[in-house]
Every structure is written in C-alpha cells, then in structure tokens.
Amino acid sequence: MEYNGLWDRLTVDEEKMDTIRKDWIEGKVPDLPFVIIDQEKLKEHISEKLSNIAGQRMVTTIIKAQYGDGKTNVLKYLSLYFVNHKDLRILLLYSRADVEQTDFCIYLLQQLQDNCMKELVEGVKSLRNTDRFNPAILANNFNDDFSHIRDYTIKLFEQGLDDETITNIIYLGTGRLYSKGAFGKHGLSQLTNFNRREIFVLFLNILAQCDYRIIFAVDELEKIYDKSTRRMAYFFNSYRELVDLFNKIQGHYLITTITNAVDIASLSQPFWGRVENDVVYIKKITEESDLAELVQLMAELLNVEIREGKVSDIVSTISRKRLDSNRFVIRAIGEALKGNHSISFEEELAKDEQVKALYNNAYTNAKDDGGLKNLTRAFFDPLEYYLETLEYKNIDENLFRRDYQAFIDIVSKKAFFFLFNDDSKIKGRIQEFINEKGINRFVVFVPKELTVTHSMFDFAGVEVKIIDYDPTQLFVLMNIYRKNFDKQKEIFRLIGIVTEYVFE
C-alpha cells in the first residue's frame, strides 16, 4: 500500500493554528501536529508496519520515550495524515489508556463499538450477500476456542436481518448488551468475557474483508503503571493474549505508547519476549541540522522574522543547555525567538545557601515521613496559608480543596485547578464551572509528566492558562514559606518562579 507524503509536512486548517502556536511556544505537544522532525528510525519502523496493514496478520508497535519527547505527537501526526487521506480506508482510533480497564481486548472492542458501528453493520450486510460466503473464514473456521462463537457468528450473518437487529447482535458481542434475556431474544447462548477475544478477531476480519483497516493508537499506558505495578502486569498479560491472536486477524495495526520508566520485561517477561522487536524509541533532538529545522519551523509558526545568523546562534545556545526533553527544547526555542528567557528554579535556589538547605531538608523529611504520599490531601493547607499572606480574601471556600482540587477568586471570576496524577476529569470540571458558576477564566497547574495542551479545551470565549509544575516542589516551598518568617521574601520569589507569578 502506498502512503504518498507520509512524514512530509501536513496541512492544518488556519483556524486551528492559533491553538497550535500557543502550545508550541509553551513547549507543549500540539493536539494537531503536522510534522515530525528527525526520528528516522521511528519513521522507518512505522512505515514498514503500515506496509503490511492489509496483510494476513495484525501487527503492533510500542513507542517508548521520556516524558515530553513527543509520543503523543507521533500518534496525532498519523491521525491527521489519515484524516487527510480517507481514500486509503484506514481508520485511526486515538485514545488514552483507561486505568480502570486492564483487559486490553475488551478495551479495544469498546473502541470498535464507539467508532466503527456503521462500517461493521454495512460490512455484515455486504458479506452475507456475497456468493459462496462462508462466515467461518472470519473466525478461524470455528476451531479451538472459536467454536464458542459459532452460533453467534452464524446468527450475525443470517439473511433478512435489518440494521437495528444487526446492531443489537454486534452489541451482544461487544458486551454492551449482556443479559441472558438479550441473548435469548436471538436464540443464542450467553457469551462471557472469555469469548470477547474471539469476537474481536471476528469484527476485525469483517472490516478487513470490506477493505477497511484499523489503527488502534492507545496513548499513555504509563497511567496504568502509576495506578499500580500489579495492574500494569495484568494489562501486559492481557496485551500478550491479544498478540497471540494476531495470526488469526487479517491485517490492522496496534500502536501503544509508554514512558521509559516502565520496565516491561520485569513486569511480564512472556509479553516482552513477544514484543521486544516491536519496540521503537523516540530520541532527543540533538543534531544541529534538526535543531535548525525546528527553529525555522517555530519562527514560521510564531511569525517571527529571523536575521541572518540567528538560527545558528539559537542552535548553539540550545545545544549547550543539554535540555532534558524535546518539549523543553521547543520551549527554549520559543523563548529565544520571542526574546524571553525563563528563570531557572534550580539556579535561583542555589543563590541562597540557607534557603537551599531549608528546601532540601524539608523535601527529605517529607519523603522519609511519607508526607508526599497523600499530596492531594496535604497540598491545600500550605496553599491556603500562602494565599492568605497575599491577601486573597475572595476565595470561594466551598470549592477549595478536595472536591475539585481547585479554588475560585470570586472577584476576578478566575478558577485555579491543581492536577496531581490524573487529568481525565479536568475538561468536565472546567465545563461545569462555565455552565454552573459563570467562570470563564482558568489557570490549570499540570504536572510535567502529564500531557495537557490548549487543544484539549475547545471552549468559546474562555481563557485557559496552562502551567507546568512539580507538585512536590511547590508543596515543599509553601511549607517552608509558612515555617520560616525571616526567609519568606526569598521563598516567595521561588514560589513565584514555579507558579509563573499567577497569584500576584
């Protein structure tokens, strides 16, 4: 299969460019990226997998990288590419890992149900009217465990069923309809979750027979790991069971992303043995030619004219900084182009040995005493004290702390949210504040390991500022601020740096 223009720069609607520019300059990965700079090994790897997407076997890729190096960027680039090339009949289904659903097959079945019902229903009708069509070829000829879905498959392709009936039978397969009575209505024995793997194979083969191919793009698997290592191990075992079915699936492609911090082999050696050759890494952008290309791109996005020699000056400066992630590289380039320079917390902390000692001792004590384990609960006591010293008298106390991890300044009509290890509810909470509390200005503090971008918030007439922060760092600073009156001025400056002075 030919993929014309894959890895070239893609076209993005101009109306979306403002959001993209805002994300780029803040060092965030845009929701609709249109170019992948460098990463030649990754591009080659994915291109090879895509060349076999219409083959006789499903394939997978696991993208590993550090936080902020661009895993999501790759998935969103592919998503945009296939939106722009609908003639390929490839549907990319992007989603973020669900920490509550560790049965990967059931999770992917849900994705099919949510996104491919029209194609499945039309596929069933088309195939059943094909001469000499035998549904057994879609289900491993009903051998082994596929024998359990023989009656279900035959019923699905029964002549004369209307769209609604076909839809309901598909729902029996995905689990949306699951009662004994729902199965009995169609003369079928009840399926269990054990049978969902075979159903998954069946549905993908229906789509393949109708020349549709699916790319499942599942982002941020590390969220499961953050919940618990046991849960991550269970997920990997479920992933392994899925991989073992790939030779029974006619094509399709599963791409997942995970951070380098998760050691797959130690959590599930059987799974690692199956996918070791399917793992590809995103590397930091370090080559001067790649950095120069990124500088030129950023200048274009930000509408900044570059004088002769400035590109090489910026590249030299960025190279010397040895920044930790591609996200920080992007941010540094944006600052250089705009003539801004961020203040380093570490550099400022080092200027006062006494404050540095207070900070390091408080951090160590909190860690040793377990004070950092329940940060979501402990965080708001020192925050409340800090805000009181700034004479924030207009806080809506009903919304402060745990219920929303937020507070509202009722005079300025601005809400401040603090995220710690999960960002799944933030959009809904902002929408609630807009609808029920008349708030249209928001500041969202986001841990550096979470990927939250402006493109997540498509609210008309609403201002959202996203600040990357280290919750532990801010918590410790606010605690020493409360306990050391003689150093509050110096600590206040440090808190201002890590919060970008939004409380002034």
CATH of the domain at 267: 3.40.50.300
Task: Establish if 370 belongs to a structural domain.
Answer: yes
- pLDDT at residue 7 in the model: 95
Taking a C-beta distance cutoff of 8 angstroms, is the pair 191, 183 a contact?
yes
Q: Among 263, 283, 303, where does a domain finish? A: 283
* Token output for 457: 């918030």
In terms of domains, do 151 and 270 share one?
no
Helix (H), strand (E), coil (C) string for 296-334: HHHHHHCCCCCCCCHHHHHHHHHHHHCCCCHHHHHHHHH
Task: Establish if 47 belongs to a structural domain.
Answer: no
- The set of residues, in sequence order, having a beta carbon less than 8 Å from that of 164 and lying 6+ positions away, is none
- pLDDT at residue 330 in the model: 84
- pLDDT at residue 67 in the model: 84
Task: Establish if 485 belongs to a structural domain.
Answer: yes
In terms of domains, do 224 and 93 share one?
yes
Helix (H) or strand (E) holding 195: none
Domain limits at 356?
Answer: 345-499
Cα–Cα dist 407/380, whole Å:
10
Q: State the CB neighbour count (10 A cutoff) for residue 190.
A: 13
Helix (H), strand (E), coil (C) string for 235-259: HHHHHHHHHCCHHHCCCCEEEEEEE
In terms of domains, do 183 and 258 share one?
no
Please give the C-alpha separations between residue 120 and each of 123, 140, 171, 218, 445, in angstroms, as whole numbers.
5, 19, 11, 21, 42
Q: Total domain count for the chain?
A: 4
Please give the C-alpha separations between residue 69 and each of 36, 247, 345, 442, 451, in angstroms, as whole numbers.
11, 33, 21, 26, 11
In terms of domains, do 259 and 199 share one?
no
In terms of domains, do 376 and 490 share one?
yes
Task: Establish if 37 belongs to a structural domain.
Answer: no
Q: Among 247, 262, 283, where does a domain finish? A: 283
In terms of domains, do 418 and 477 share one?
yes
- pLDDT at residue 307 in the model: 78
pTM metric for this prediction: 0.79
In terms of domains, do 351 and 314 share one?
no
- pLDDT at residue 413 in the model: 84
Per-residue pLDDT of the chain (504 residues; tens, 9 = 90+): 889 999 998 887 777 777 777 777 666 666 657 889 899 999 999 999 999 999 999 999 999 998 888 899 999 999 999 999 999 999 999 999 999 999 999 999 999 999 999 999 999 999 999 988 999 999 999 999 999 999 999 999 999 999 999 999 999 999 999 999 999 999 999 999 999 999 999 999 999 999 999 999 999 999 999 889 999 999 999 999 999 999 999 999 999 999 999 999 999 999 999 999 999 999 989 899 999 998 988 888 777 888 778 888 889 888 887 787 888 888 788 778 876 556 778 888 999 999 999 999 998 888 777 667 778 888 888 988 888 887 766 676 666 666 788 888 877 788 999 998 888 888 889 999 999 888 999 999 998 778 788 878 878 889 898 888 989 999 999 999 999 999 998 999 899 888 888 876
In terms of domains, do 82 and 200 share one?
no
Task: Establish if 263 belongs to a structural domain.
Answer: yes
